[in-house]
């Protein structure tokens, strides 16, 4: 979405307010679609010592956004039949710590595992290497029974990264590079930084003095938060999470990742988790992505699967700013500016056999309209003046279809023909009868 000058001015004013309120040394925004960067804005200095200005091509640490790539690696291996998402951590890792925990629970922060790897890593800044992770993790506590409560866990994703290495036969970093970063053209992303690079800062709480944060290695915990990236590369990644690159992440895979599994904000339902993805609710929209934080850095990438629009936000300051809600609200504001994406145009006719299916049907005293749209069969329930429950079907055979969206996804639709073999007397969807006029339940309906 290309912004007008007026909207670009408004966006910059919003970013300036965020930078001022958060006392951020620099703030970089990227906005794009289908892997292309359409808008980029940068405020402040990426490195005050070098006098390096912020920019969309400057690398920043992205912290826990790394988890989304670890999750995608697990999903790819599951899609290839090398892992079972419902199976335990012990698959491909027989002596794994907490071996019986299912991958689905680890991916959605529903495993109950404690947040961090045992030890004083955040005090000493020394973390266990990949070969030491298993021994360290055996001392970890499972705070809750699995699948009973949401609890964020870096440890869970460190273990998943080790599983990726064992299931694929190559180190986690090499797998992510070969199967995700390189195919998506994310050549400015990785565990090692390359100039131009932002320096991580914090700001003294009672003055405006900058404090340089240390550049640390997460070692065996790298799959939970070690990557560097740029605003441009993160827009490419967000596009992949919207299904723009099915050759890397298939439609089925990203749909599974985006499906809700746990709720982090029980009181307001504003934040949930899919498989490795955060789900942000802003008004009536559900945006997907993740946030990240490392000493001196915070970051976020959020995407709207419906439109494919993506927004990335990178900062080299750690002031406690809630970067996820800020990024989600910015993207929601940008989406409100979007013009109508396309005008209506004539389409191809439906198959002759389906013409008798189209039109109004009734079931459970609800009125439905079956139509041929965009080369496929669709159904919409009519409630007063509103259209709800839109469903799209895929043909399974003659007069048999399966719902691919909507509340009854996966359920079959069966067309019952009249004695002439052409007219349609009744439909059955999810075993419920559909008739041309409203009728009571029972054998007399027909």
Residue 93's Cβ-count burial label (10 Å; 0-12, 13-18, 19+) is: middle
Quote the CA–CA distance of 175 and 161 in Å, as a whole number: 10
Contact (Cβ atoms closer than 8 angstroms) between residue 347 and residue 62: no
How high is the pLDDT of residue 386?
53
**Which tens digits make up the pLDDT trace of 331-372?**
999 999 876 556 778 989 999 999 999 999 999 899 999 999
435 φ, ψ (degrees, to nearest 5): -125, 165
Question: Sorting pLDDT into bands at 50, 70 and 90, what band is 399?
Answer: very high
Which pLDDT value is given to residue 342? 66
CA distance linking residue 360 with residue 376, whole number of Å: 17
* Residue 319 pLDDT: 72
Per-residue pLDDT at 217: 92
pLDDT score, position 344: 79
Residue 318 has pLDDT above 90, yes or no: no
By the 10 Å C-beta count (0-12 exposed, 13-18 middle, 19+ buried), 369 is classed as: middle
Task: Of 105-114, 220-229, 382-391, give the lowest mean pLDDT range.
Answer: 382-391
Alpha carbons 240 and 141: distance in angstroms, whole number: 35
Share of the chain above pLDDT 70, in %: 97
Confidence (pLDDT) at 387:
55
Q: Which of 35-49, 223-237, 331-345, 403-417 has the lowest average pLDDT?
A: 331-345
Mean pLDDT of 22-32: 95
Helix (H) or strand (E) holding 331: helix 323-336
Provide the 3-class DSSP secondary structure of residue 390. strand
Which pLDDT band, with edges at 50, 70 and 90, does 37 fall under?
A: confident
Q: How many CB atoms lie within 10 A of CB 349?
A: 9
Task: With a cut of 60, say whether residue 445 has pLDDT above it.
Answer: no
- Here the tokens at position 58 are 């400057």
What's the chain's average pLDDT? 93
The secondary structure of 275-295 as a DSSP string is SS-EEEEETTEEEEEEEEEET
C-alpha count within 13 angstroms, C-beta hemisphere, residue 241: 33
Instruction: Express as a percent the part of the chain with pLDDT over 90.
Output: 83
Model confidence pLDDT, tens digit, residues 178-236: 999 999 999 999 999 999 999 999 999 999 999 999 999 999 999 999 999 999 999 99
Residue with tokens 């680890």: 106
Per-residue model confidence as pLDDT tens digits over 228-279: 999 999 999 999 999 999 999 999 999 999 999 999 988 889 999 999 999 9
Q: Of 192, 205, 199, nearest to 45 (Cα)?
A: 199
Closest C-alpha among 402, 394, 212 to residue 297: 212
Q: Which run of H or E residues covers position 69?
A: helix 66-79
Report the pLDDT averaged over residues 320-330: 91
Higher per-residue pLDDT: 36 or 171: 171
Per-residue pLDDT, 343: 76
Domains assigned to the chain: 5-336 (3.40.710.10), 352-434 (2.40.128.50)
Q: What digits encode the pLDDT tens for the residues 189-205? A: 999 999 999 999 999 99
pLDDT attached to residue 443: 75
């Amino acid at each position: 979405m290309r912004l007008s000058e007026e909207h670009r001015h408004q966006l910059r004013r919003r970013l300036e307010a965020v930078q001022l309120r958060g006392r951020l040394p620099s703030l970089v925004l990227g906005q794009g679609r289908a892997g292309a960067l359409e808008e980029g804005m940068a405020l402040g200095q990426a490195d005050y010592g070098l006098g390096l200005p912020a920019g969309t091509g400057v690398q920043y640490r992205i912290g826990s956004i790394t988890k989304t790539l670890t999750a995608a690696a697990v999903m790819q291996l599951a899609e290839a039949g090398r892992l079972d998402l419902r199976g335990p951590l012990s698959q491909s890792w027989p002596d794994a710590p907490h071996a019986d925990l299912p991958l689905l629970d680890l991916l959605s922060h529903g495993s109950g595992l404690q947040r961090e790897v045992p030890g004083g890593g955040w005090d000493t800044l020394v973390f266990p290497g990949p070969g030491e992770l298993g021994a360290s993790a055996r001392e970890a506590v499972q705070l809750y029974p699995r699948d009973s409560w949401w609890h964020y866990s870096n440890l869970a994703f460190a273990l998943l990264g080790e599983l990726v290495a064992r299931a694929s036969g190559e180190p986690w970093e090499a797998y992510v590079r070969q199967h995700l970063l390189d195919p998506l053209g994310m050549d400015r992303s990785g565990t090692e930084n390359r100039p131009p690079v932002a320096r991580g800062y914090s700001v003294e709480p009672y003055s405006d003095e900058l404090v340089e944060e240390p550049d640390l290695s997460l070692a065996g915990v790298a799959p939970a938060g070690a990557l560097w990236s740029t605003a441009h590369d993160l827009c490419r990644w967000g596009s992949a999470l919207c299904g723009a690159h099915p050759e890397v992440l298939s439609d089925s895979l990203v749909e599974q990742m985006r499906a809700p599994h746990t709720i982090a904000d029980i009181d307001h339902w504003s934040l949930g988790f899919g498989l490795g993805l955060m789900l942000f609710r802003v008004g009536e929209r559900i945006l997907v992505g993740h946030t990240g934080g490392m000493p001196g850095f915070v970051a976020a990438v959020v995407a709207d699967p419906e439109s494919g629009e993506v927004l990335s936000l990178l900062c080299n300051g750690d002031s406690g700013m809630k970067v996820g809600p800020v990024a989600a609200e910015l993207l929601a504001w940008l989406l409100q500016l979007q013009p109508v994406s396309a005008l209506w145009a004539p389409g191809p006719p439906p198959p002759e056999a389906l013409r008798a299916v189209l039109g109004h049907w009734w079931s459970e005293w609800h009125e439905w309209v079956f139509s041929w749209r965009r080369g496929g069969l669709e159904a919409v329930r009519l409630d007063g003046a509103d259209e709800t429950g839109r469903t799209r079907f895929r043909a399974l055979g003659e007069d048999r279809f399966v719902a691919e969206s909507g509340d009854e996804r996966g359920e079959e639709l069966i067309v019952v023909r009249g004695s002439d073999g052409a007219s349609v007397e009744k439909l059955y969807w999810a075993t419920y009868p559909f008739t041309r006029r409203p009728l009571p339940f029972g054998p007399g309906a027909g």
